[in-house]
């Protein structure tokens, strides 16, 4: 696992978002560096949803924020509609970044507690100079209704007066006010009750269809990602280990780490016929301060060989739209 390479990129199909060789590193103390994201690449076609999955600390949220240049990546390329974001001036970046919107993990803390819903929802267009109050109010109310909220009930309320699910719906409406082309969802249901999670996931699907959105959906729950995405990208310790179509992933996953994540899903249908096929994986996640040489998963992988110590695997094609970074599968 844990490989690099760009064999899976689809430059001939005019992707709306293209990320190549993305690296994000942070200084940590004296002469130490956190290798959060290490040379990953992916792309998105118009109307597609890419699910990014992995355990905590794998770099999936950092990758999503780096697409937005928050923070700017250490190196690599991020282009939307052919516009390279990493080389833009601050003013040009700010204007272009309006095409990208993010829904945060914690909906309550991502909303200003002192501002009412009517201000939160219409804030984006107002910052860009739109001053037609009636138009903004009408558009804001329509979007609140589209996400399942009664505008008359929530318009003058503060975030503290709403439930977590209602706050997340407000966040979705707020993101849609700027009519983005790409919506990045950073674990948008992980902090919500199970009974609300399905509602928000269905809402995101409806919103994607209605507004013709392209989405990146980040989560650690493989079952959630599998059900909402068209393609899945599995990450481990800042690297990509597998990219494959979501449909049939439970049967076609090739990488030991991907199969490990699948075994964590409490769904007997997914495990049907898989007994004995997934080797047991032991050990702790290595530190991003000093990642292993070669394949980063080798310290926990039951298939590791001497080649895995010395040589980093590259993503290679093993099926239609299916790429794996492993020497031994």
Top mean-pLDDT range of 25-29, 61-65, 298-302: 61-65
Task: Please state whether beta strands 239-245 and 231-236 pair in parallel, antiparallel, or not at all (unpaired).
Answer: antiparallel
Averaged pLDDT, 193-210: 87
User: Is residue 54 pLDDT above 80, yes or no?
Assistant: yes
| Beta pairing partners, 4 | 314
Half-sphere exposure of 153 (CA within 13 A, CB side): 10
Query: pTM of this prediction?
Result: 0.90
Closest of 107, 20, 24, 27 to residue 59, by C-alpha: 24
Give the DSSP letter of residue 4. Answer: B
- What ranges in the chain are assigned the alpha helix state H? 60-67, 90-96, 117-127, 133-146, 151-154, 164-176, 194-211, 222-228, 249-252, 256-263, 268-271, 306-310
What sign results for the dihedral spanned by CA atoms 271, 273, 276, 279?
negative
* Predicted pLDDT at 28: 87
Averaged pLDDT, 104-128: 92
Mean pLDDT of the chain: 89
Domain boundaries, the chain: 11-81+184-324, 107-180
Half-sphere exposure of 25 (CA within 13 A, CB side): 16
Averaged pLDDT, 55-60: 90
User: Is residue 282 pLDDT above 80, yes or no?
Assistant: no
Tokens encoding 270? 């997914």
Task: Indicate left, alpha or beta for 157 from its phi (over 0: left) and psi (-120 to 50: alpha).
Answer: beta
Q: Which of 51-55, 230-234, 263-267 has the weakest average pLDDT?
A: 263-267
User: Is residue 294 pLDDT above 70, yes or no?
Assistant: yes
What sign results for the dihedral spanned by CA atoms 215, 220, 224, 226?
positive
User: Is residue 74 pLDDT above 90, yes or no?
Assistant: yes
User: Is residue 177 pLDDT above 70, yes or no?
Assistant: yes
* Predicted pLDDT at 275: 45
* Predicted pLDDT at 128: 87
Averaged pLDDT, 263-292: 67
Out of 2.60.34.10, 3.30.870.10, 3.40.50.800, 3.40.50.300, select the CATH number for domain 11-81+184-324.
Answer: 3.40.50.300
User: Is residue 199 pLDDT above 50, yes or no?
Assistant: yes
- Name the burial class of residue 241, with classes exposed (0-12), middle (13-18) and buried (19+) by CB atoms within 10 angstroms of its CB: buried
User: Is residue 156 pLDDT above 70, yes or no?
Assistant: yes
User: Is residue 137 pLDDT above 70, yes or no?
Assistant: yes
């Amino acid at each position: 696992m844990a490989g690099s390479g760009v064999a899976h990129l689809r430059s001939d199909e005019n992707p709306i978002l293209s990320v190549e060789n993305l690296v994000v590193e942070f200084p940590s103390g004296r002469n130490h560096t956190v290798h959060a994201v290490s040379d990953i690449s992916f792309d998105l076609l118009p109307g597609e949803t890419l699910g990014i999955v992995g355990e905590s600390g794998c770099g999936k949220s950092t990758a999503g924020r780096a697409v937005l240049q928050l923070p700017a990546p250490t190196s690599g390329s991020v282009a939307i509609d052919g516009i390279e974001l990493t080389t833009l001036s601050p003013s040009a970046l700010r204007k272009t970044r309006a095409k990208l919107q993010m829904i945060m993990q914690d909906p309550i803390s991502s909303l200003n507690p002192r501002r009412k819903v009517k201000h939160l929802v219409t804030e984006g267009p107002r910052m860009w100079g739109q001053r037609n109050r009636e138009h903004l109010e009408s558009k804001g109310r329509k979007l609140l209704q589209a996400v399942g909220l009664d505008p008359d009930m929530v318009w003058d309320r503060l975030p503290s007066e709403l439930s977590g699910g209602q706050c997340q719906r407000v966040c979705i409406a707020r993101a849609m006010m700027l009519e983005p082309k790409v919506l990045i969802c950073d674990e948008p249901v992980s902090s919500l009750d199970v009974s609300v999670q399905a509602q928000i996931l269905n809402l995101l699907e409806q919103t994607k269809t209605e507004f013709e959105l392209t989405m990146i959906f980040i989560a650690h729950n493989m079952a959630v990602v599998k059900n909402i995405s068209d393609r899945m990208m599995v990450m481990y310790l800042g690297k990509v280990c597998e990219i494959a179509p979501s449909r049939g992933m439970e049967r076609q996953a090739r990488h030991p780490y991907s199969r490990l994540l699948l075994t964590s899903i409490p769904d007997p249908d997914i495990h049907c016929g898989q007994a004995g096929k997934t080797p047991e994986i032991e050990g702790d996640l290595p530190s991003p301060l000093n990642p292993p040489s070669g394949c980063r998963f080798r310290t926990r992988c039951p298939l590791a060989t001497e080649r895995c110590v010395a040589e980093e695997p590259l993503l290679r094609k093993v099926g239609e739209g299916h790429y794996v970074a492993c020497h031994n599968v």
